[in-house]
Chain A
């Protein structure tokens, strides 16, 4: 009797295990299928959970523009191609992968290389550690970071800085003169008019602006204007903002960060290796606009207007290379070139007359 029992139990046990395995595998299969079908995230979303959102699609993509151009060529009375804009309302410049082949593409690539690594490709005319891309982020594409696609169609134009009509080449020459402090470079001057440097950079800009209307001030052009706080700005408060938000990359003394090979990874913000007193960025209002929209890197619009002004004032209250236009005294230059500007040029802070300049030590 006992023997019969155990034999009976034995068969039932293996049978039960077999059943359990079949059900178990089915269960796993069903579970895996449910997981793969994505219905879990749909249910999760339905009860209010947060899942990855599909990035907003362009309102009018570059591909649509290209297609419309083809149609328009065939039927020039038909619908005109429009300006490619993203969901954020800003112009969409072409991406790196769209650079064409051939001589035109080679010039675009040369211009891009100059833009990203100015000190290497235009060695003789860069007198500090700055490059174009330091102020014009994402290789000149980023809106509200003085993008190149907006600048391209904005020149020639009258500039109060020069009191004359500036062509695009004149304007870029200004960047070399002031922001890249050509006076401290081996040649001591910006690339001469007609130089291949301008030819390549302008070709790159034209490529970025392919599809953007000329003459019109596009959304995202230049830096945004940040209203000056009612209480003005304060260098001491700015120092605190700087230490919390900027010093990680730009260094406690504004010296920037270089890597083990000595390449500049984050640019210096003051001192001999930074932009000079004639650069637009030396004005507090300009720097505040750039900072507000673009800094800290990867955290746009995270600082308040007050913090942006305070930290811009702190950064621009340090000595930097002298204004190359200065011929007489700093006071005279302040009167001639900086009257009415939000700038510390010609002012005395802690007993030091700002604007006297600082020169890089020659190796």
Chain B
């Protein structure tokens, strides 16, 4: 007790006259730097592998739009402001989905999806039955009229061709699942509902042909893992749950590789 009281006096005497308060007394441990470097390598490879936006130089080479719907809007005419400029509260659609609605990686291609399908997805994002934080925010900021307008725009947008990535996925298996399914696993053929060439059917069954393969895979995984709940009658929840990861990757790659020209 007594010695405690005396301490302040002793401390003053203990101060090293060479003490520099700005000196870095403890350098960052080597191991922490090493972990940061390892994470940086992982992140960089991930970016290069999955998320790098399509290089500008590739864009003009793409044979744009083989299937122009009759009612396609003339370029520049009646494009909703949201598509390229956004507004005060939301960023533009094109900033993520590309200026031709082509998408990239896990961001879906919107061009050529049915209007009612896009409207339903936006409403489901707002309602939370389909989860994606960015899209939840965007969808809650839009009025029904705006949702209808952007959906109508993307529905009539011609299909940009996507370069089929070479990933070594089992394309033959993807084709088999598309055309015949795997009934021993209770997986029906994709063509039954999504159309003979994956062109989609009506408003409930979206186009799959030419969709971004990473996006398709991420959605199958979301259904299987139980984080997406907006499939009518939970059809896709059930089907995805019976698919192996390899099968999900195979069909995703297969549909991603189908070009608009392959589609009627």
Return the CB mask of A318-360 against B: 1 if under 8 Å, else 0.
0000000000000000000000000000000000000000000
When A96-B180, A297-B193, A299-B233 are in contact, do A24 and B36 touch as well, CB less than 8 Å?
yes
Partner of B38, one of A31, A138, A300: A31
A257 near B202: Cβ-Cβ < 8 Å: yes
Q: Which residue of A lies closest to B23 (CB)?
A: A5
Set of chain A residues within 8 Å of B94, measured between Cβ atoms: none
A23 near B34: Cβ-Cβ < 8 Å: yes
A55 near B38: Cβ-Cβ < 8 Å: no
- What 9 A-B pairs are tightest by C-beta distance, nearest first? A24-B37, A23-B34, A20-B33, A27-B38, A24-B34, A28-B38, A24-B38, A52-B244, A298-B188
Report Cα–Cα, A17/B40, bound state, in Å: 14
Q: Which among A19, A24, A95 has the greatest number of chain B C-beta atoms within 10 A?
A: A24
Q: Which residue of A lies closest to B235 (CB)?
A: A298
Report Cα–Cα, A247/B27, bound state, in Å: 68
A164 to nearest B CB, angstroms? 35
Q: Is B186 an interface residue (CB 8 A)?
A: yes
Return the CB mask of B28-56 against A: 1 if under 8 Å, else 0.
00110111111011100000000000000
Set of chain A residues within 8 Å of B239, measured between Cβ atoms: 298
Partner of B204, one of A96, A137, A248, A296: A248
Interface bracket on B: 35 or more
Q: Is B201 an interface residue (CB 8 A)?
A: yes
When A55-B185, A257-B201, A261-B264 are in contact, do A23 and B31 touch as well, CB less than 8 Å?
yes
When A55-B184, A86-B184 are in contact, do A265 and B201 touch as well, CB less than 8 Å?
yes
A299 near B180: Cβ-Cβ < 8 Å: no
Report Cα–Cα, A17/B33, bound state, in Å: 8
A-B pairs under 8 A by CB, number = 92
Q: Which residue of B lies closest to A51 (CB)?
A: B245
Q: Is A216 an interface residue (CB 8 A)?
A: no
B33 near A95: Cβ-Cβ < 8 Å: no
Set of chain B residues within 8 Å of A296, measured between Cβ atoms: 233, 235
B34 near A27: Cβ-Cβ < 8 Å: yes
Q: Is B124 an interface residue (CB 8 A)?
A: no
When A299-B233, A299-B238 are in contact, do A23 and B30 touch as well, CB less than 8 Å?
yes
What is the size, in residues, of chain A's interface with B at 8 Å between Cβ atoms? 38
Set of chain A residues within 8 Å of B264, measured between Cβ atoms: 261
Report Cα–Cα, A300/B239, bound state, in Å: 11
Report Cα–Cα, A85/B188, bound state, in Å: 20
Q: Is A245 an interface residue (CB 8 A)?
A: yes
What are 13 inter-chain pairs, A to B, with CB distance below 8 A?
A20-B33, A23-B37, A24-B36, A27-B34, A28-B42, A31-B38, A31-B42, A52-B245, A263-B196, A265-B193, A299-B235, A299-B238, A302-B238
CB within 8 Å of A: which B177-194 residues = 179-181, 183-189, 192-193
B interface list, Cβ under 8 A from A: 27, 30-31, 33-38, 40-42, 179-181, 183-189, 192-193, 195-196, 199, 201-202, 204, 232-233, 235, 238-239, 244-246, 264
Report Cα–Cα, A198/B30, bound state, in Å: 79
Q: Which residue of B lies closest to A251 (CB)?
A: B202
Set of chain B residues within 8 Å of A165, measured between Cβ atoms: none
Q: Is A160 an interface residue (CB 8 A)?
A: no
Q: Is A14 an interface residue (CB 8 A)?
A: no
Q: Is A142 an interface residue (CB 8 A)?
A: yes
A138 near B180: Cβ-Cβ < 8 Å: yes
Report Cα–Cα, A99/B149, bound state, in Å: 50
Report Cα–Cα, A45/B6, bound state, in Å: 61
Q: Which residue of B lies closest to A90 (CB)?
A: B184
Q: Is A244 an interface residue (CB 8 A)?
A: yes
Q: Is A37 an interface residue (CB 8 A)?
A: no
Report Cα–Cα, A31/B179, bound state, in Å: 39
Q: Is A25 an interface residue (CB 8 A)?
A: yes
Return the CB mask of A269-298 against B: 1 if under 8 Å, else 0.
000000000000000000000000000111
Q: Is A21 an interface residue (CB 8 A)?
A: yes
Report Cα–Cα, A27/B31, bound state, in Å: 10
When A142-B183, A249-B193, A299-B238 are in contact, do A25 and B232 touch as well, CB less than 8 Å?
no
Set of chain A residues within 8 Å of B196, measured between Cβ atoms: 263
A28 to nearest B CB, angstroms? 4
CB within 8 Å of B: which A1-44 residues = 16-17, 19-21, 23-25, 27-28, 31
B263 to nearest A CB, angstroms? 11
B120 to nearest A CB, angstroms? 13
A141 near B183: Cβ-Cβ < 8 Å: yes
B186 near A298: Cβ-Cβ < 8 Å: yes
Q: Is A88 an interface residue (CB 8 A)?
A: yes
Q: Is A259 an interface residue (CB 8 A)?
A: yes
Report Cα–Cα, A344/B144, bound state, in Å: 46
Partner of A16, one of B33, B40, B189, B232: B33
A149 to nearest B CB, angstroms? 13
